[in-house]
Amino acid sequence: MHDDTKTTASAPAAHKHLTLDEIKKGCIEVKGDNPNQVRICRINEELSQGITEMEAYDRSVTFYGSARFKEGDEFYNKARHLGGRIAKELGYTIVTGGGPGIMEAGNRGAFEAGGKSVGLSIKLPMEQHDNPYITDNVPFYFFFARKVSLSFSSEVFVFFPGGFGTFDEAFEVITLIQTGKLKPIPVILYGSAFWNPFLDAIKKVMVDTYHTVTDDEMKIFTVTDDDDYVIETVKNAKLRTDNHLD
């Protein structure tokens, strides 16, 4: 249960989006009873809707992190505070996966600061539900369509501590930059106590022992606990002039 008395901002008018049922129904009408063609149609519609949504926001920062953090937890509070600062001080939109935990915290901070707070939500059997601090929500059924949309156009990515899903998203973004499929963009791993043990293992095993990762590739991302560093990074980030995905 959220204390709505803390929320003084009013939500900007949301864009109109097709629901998942509307997308599915429309694809069945167009493609008939061919399940593979219907699936391809649904994927295309989700990608189109998601990318079109991201194009509507000229400056944004994407927050990633665990859905399991609760209000009062250290990183929930930090994500909420940082989201608020980015929205209020810099006027950037905060983009998340639209669910609970870090996603809610980032959206909440932006919402309470009177900023834009976008959620790209996903239908899951557990953990995922839309948080109440989204000013604009785009629904997804397919994980990969949502991931492409989340990484499509933000100026900075901030990864808070999380589980397998957060690591999946972090390594995908890093790999896209490493391979030149995503233009260079600041990637911040927030929370040194959480991230550094994993990075120490990567350095020891992948970089030093097996040479499957280079020292230069370790510079794709930065670990920090400093909110001011994040603010300066966002402030100095290159604004996108076209989409990041080649």
The whole model's pTM is what?
0.90
Low-confidence stretches of the chain (pLDDT beneath 70): 1-15, 125-128, 241-246
C-beta separation of 244 from 152 below 8 A: yes
Query: 217: how many CB neighbours lie within 10 A of its CB?
Result: 16
pLDDT of residue 14: 58
Architecture of domain 58-236: 3-Layer(aba) Sandwich (3.40)
CA angle 39, 41, 45 (to 5 degrees): 120
pLDDT digits (tens, 9 = 90+) for 69-108: 999 999 999 999 999 999 999 999 999 999 999 999 999 9
pLDDT digits (tens, 9 = 90+) for 121-151: 987 766 568 899 999 999 999 999 999 999 8
